[in-house]
Structure formats: structure tokens, C-alpha cells
Structure 1
Amino acid sequence: MLQITLRYIPYHREVAFLQIKQTEVTSVKAYLPIFYIHVYTAVFALLGGFTQFNNSILTKYKKLHRAMGYLYFIVVVFFAAPSGIFMGYHANGGFLSKISFILLGSLWLFFTIKAVYYIRKKDIKNHRHFMMRSFALAFSAITLRMWKVILVYLFHPSPMDIYQIIAWLGWIPNLILIEYLIRKNINHEKK
């Protein structure tokens, strides 16, 4: 993801993904700045998120965990999720792709806010569960690209077909897996 982000430095209008978004770049004045906000901040959400589930950091470096958690919260709530929702409104692939990306961004925002709500209530279990959900959605940046490579390699679909498929595959399986792990953990704790 860092390598993908670095393609957009310095600030260019016709590089990588933006090559297929020239209609938006030229006709929607806010698109390019919001796109860059999303790209530049989402990579920090991934970095911050990766530190949140490491037991060593959680037990030995609580201040680092807290600082990275705040970084994650600020990046997601104020930058990456709102810009992702805006970009979802302008997504390729038609109505279903737009719905998917808007829903993804909205749930990412909601789960992140809910995680902070629970930690402020000192409810660590629900905080962890909502952070797992939030990061599953942040991780969709990676799984979306993984699914794209797999589907293109196996089936050679048209670009718009692939976009409509990965719009959903990028995050739904992540969320299903996390819900399974949360339920499994809850059931294990009851025993």
C-alpha cells in the first residue's frame, strides 16, 4: 500500500488510478484534493491499525498502543472514511459499486467511533470487537487489490465487471471473517 501511495507523490493528476478518473478530476472540483486526502491518510490508518492487535504492544507498550489508536481514530474519522465516502459517490462500476463503497466508508466510520465510545466506557471487550470490525474494513484496501489480481488472472473479466465485483469482495469477506472470530471468541469465553 505504501508503494501504491508513493505513486501519487508528487501530486499528479494522471497517474495510476487517476488515469481512469479524468472525468471526475476535471469536472468535480473537490475530487482531486479529496482523493489525495484519502490516499495520503489511509496508509496511516493501516499502519496505526496493524499495531492495535499486537499483544506485546498491548501489554508492554500501552502508551504506544494508545497513541497509535488515537492516530488511527483521527485519520479514519476526520480524513480517510469521509473522503472514502465522497469517492464512493463517484465510484466506477455504476450504482452497485457506489453503494458498496459508500456503505464501506460509513461502516468504517461508525465502527471506529463505536470502538472509541466503548474504550471511554472502559468496556475493553466491545472496544476490541469494534476495532476488529473497523480494521477489517481498513484492510479492504489490501484485499480489494488481492481479489482484483486473482479474478483478472483466473477469469479475465472486463474492467467494469471486475470493479463491480471487487467493490463488494474487498470488504464483505473481511467483515464475515471478523464476525466469525468475534463470535468464536465470545463462545470460547462462555465455556
Structure 2
Amino acid sequence: MSSMPKNTMMFLVGRYTPLQLLLKIVWYGALLFFTYLMVLITLQYIPAKLDVAFLRVKDNVTGLLHYRVAFFTHVYTSIIVLVTGIVQFSDYIRNKFKGFHRVAGRIYVFLILLLAGPSGLVMGYYGNGGWTAQIAFCLLAIFWIYSSYRGFSSAIQGDFNAHRNWMYRSYALTLSAISLRLWKWLIILVFQARPMDAYQVVA
């Protein structure tokens, strides 16, 4: 166990240039930070309640049972998807812990295909910002499901280059949960835009 940090460092140093290693550290640091913020957002909805955060502006649809089911399903499963996705792109984990990579990958894909993706499609239908935002969010959910399915099916077929490319696309869409909030914050900060206007632009 004590040799693990040394082995990890030797693996990283031997595989990347100093600049690549620095960029990777910065990337993972930023990703972990924003994932932590998403965890805090998710915790607002535990236990399930309708008078907090985002749901305060959704009182026109929170009376619908299928919307409530879709919303809480999406919130609770998407954070797991976000966290499991982080480790999927670690070369060290992928090479040294292949079994863990496969298990985490299946959790990631099946949650998207069965729960997070379909519930996101329902939420997209009721999205704020008018029909343009609703179409955008529905397309996001569809492409999220599709790219995840293609990534999984490529791995089953043994085409690991295609698998890697499709999973990059899938996780890029997973990260839209972060990028949407980040861009919205920047637009409001820089242009003094109204929150809903910024929301429509980002969507």
C-alpha cells in the first residue's frame, strides 16, 4: 500500500510532459471543485422538498406527479453520473484497475440510459425560457442518451477507440450541468443581464 503513491507518480511522470501533467492537475482540480459545488446543490433536495432553490420558480409544474418524479430522479442520479464519470478518464485507473473501470462505466451508462436521461427529457419539456430552451434541453437529453449508448455498445463490440470518443462526448454533455451554471453566472456578471435572459442564451 505504501508504494502506491510512488507508483502512481512514476506512471504519470513517465506518460506526460511536465506541461501536460500540470494541465491535467488543473483540469481535475477544477472538475473536483465544481463537482463539490454540484453535490452541495444536490443536498438541498435531500430530503425531497419543493420549496428550495430551482423548484421555487417551478411552482407551475411541481403539482404534476410525473414532473416531481422526473425532477428528483434526475437530481439524485445525475450527481452519481457526474462523480462516476470523473474516474472514467483517468489513464491510471483505466490501466491499473480495469475491473473498477468497467463497473463504474456500467453504473454511469445505465443510470443515464434508464434514469437520468429519460428524466432529463421530461424536465426539458417543461424547461424555463420558452420553446427554444425547451427544444435545446430535450435535444441535450437525447444526445446524452445516444452518446452514452454508442459508447457502451462500442466497448461491447471491442472498438475501444470509438468507445473512448463516444464517452468523451457523453461526459461533455454530463458537464453541461456545470457549464450552464458557469456561463449563466459569467453572462450576468459581465453584461448585467437578467437571470432569465442569461438562462435563455446559455440554453
Q: Residue 108 of structure 1 aligns to a residue in which SS?
A: helix
1:32 maps to 2:88 = no
Q: By how many angstroms is 1:29 displaced?
A: 2.3
Match of 1:9 in 2: 46
Q: Residue 157 of structure 1 aligns to a residue in which SS?
A: coil
Q: Residue 23 of structure 1 aligns to a residue in which SS?
A: coil
CA distance in 2, matches of 1:46, 1:70: 13
CA distance in 2, matches of 1:74, 1:165: 31
1:112 maps to 2:148 = yes
1:131 maps to 2:167 = yes
Q: Residue 128 of structure 2 aligns to a residue in which SS?
A: coil
Q: Residue 145 of structure 2 aligns to a residue in which SS?
A: helix
Identity across aligned pairs (percent)? 40
Match of 2:97 in 1: 61
Match of 2:55 in 1: 18
CA distance in 2, matches of 1:92, 1:135: 24
Q: Residue 61 of structure 2 aligns to a residue in which SS?
A: helix
CA distance in 2, matches of 1:165, 1:78: 29
**1:70-122 Cα deviation digits (max 9, x unpaired):** 11011111111110111000000001000100000000000000011100110
Q: Which segments of 5 or more consecutive residues in structure 2 lack a partner in the other structure?
A: 1-37
Q: Return structure 1 stretches of 4+ with deviation > 3 angstroms.
A: none
1:136-151 to 2 correspondences below 5 Å: 136-151=172-187
Aligned partner letter, 1:100: A
What is the RMSD computed on CA atoms of the aligned residues? 0.8
Q: Residue 30 of structure 1 aligns to a residue in which SS?
A: helix
CA distance in 2, matches of 1:21, 1:29: 13
Q: Residue 134 of structure 2 aligns to a residue in which SS?
A: helix
Match of 1:94 in 2: 130
- Using the size of structure 1 for normalisation, the TM-score is 0.85
Q: Residue 45 of structure 2 aligns to a residue in which SS?
A: coil
Please say if residues 74 and 115 of structure 2, whose CA atoms lie closer than 8 Å, have aligned partners that are also in contact: yes
- Using the size of structure 2 for normalisation, the TM-score is 0.80
Size of the alignment, in residue pairs?
166
Q: Which segments of 5 or more consecutive residues in structure 1 lack a partner in the other structure?
A: 168-191
**1:102-148 Cα deviation digits (max 9, x unpaired):** 00000000000001110011000000000000000001001111111
Q: By how many angstroms is 1:160 displaced?
A: 2.2
User: Quick check: which has more Rg, 1 or 2?
Assistant: 2
CA distance in 2, matches of 1:105, 1:19: 23
Please say if residues 148 and 167 of structure 2, whose CA atoms lie closer than 8 Å, have aligned partners that are also in contact: yes
Q: By how many angstroms is 1:162 displaced?
A: 1.3
CA distance in 2, matches of 1:70, 1:110: 15
1:82 maps to 2:124 = no
